Amino acid sequence: MKIKEERQEERKEARLEALKKLITKLRISAEQAMDLLDIPQSDRHLYKSLL
């Protein structure tokens, strides 16, 4: 169970870094970046709060 939680946390951190890079390098909105990364609507509030 702990390994699964660690993987989920690593995935979340990787997505957050990818979001930041897309927003900065492509000068797009957070919403557009999340669309490109196929982040589900249900998770978007979490990533917006972390940006």
The 10s digit of each residue's pLDDT in 6-26 is 998 999 999 999 999 999 999
pLDDT of residue 2: 85
pLDDT for residue 4: 87
When divided into structural domains, the chain yields a total of 1
Other C-beta atoms within 10 Å of 7: how many?
10
Task: Give 27's DSSP letter.
Answer: -
Average pLDDT value for the chain: 94
Whether residue 1 is predicted with pLDDT greater than 80 in this model: the reply is no
**What mean pLDDT do residues 44-50 have?**
94
Which domain covers residue 42, as residue numbers?
2-50
Cβ–Cβ < 8 Å for 36, 22: yes
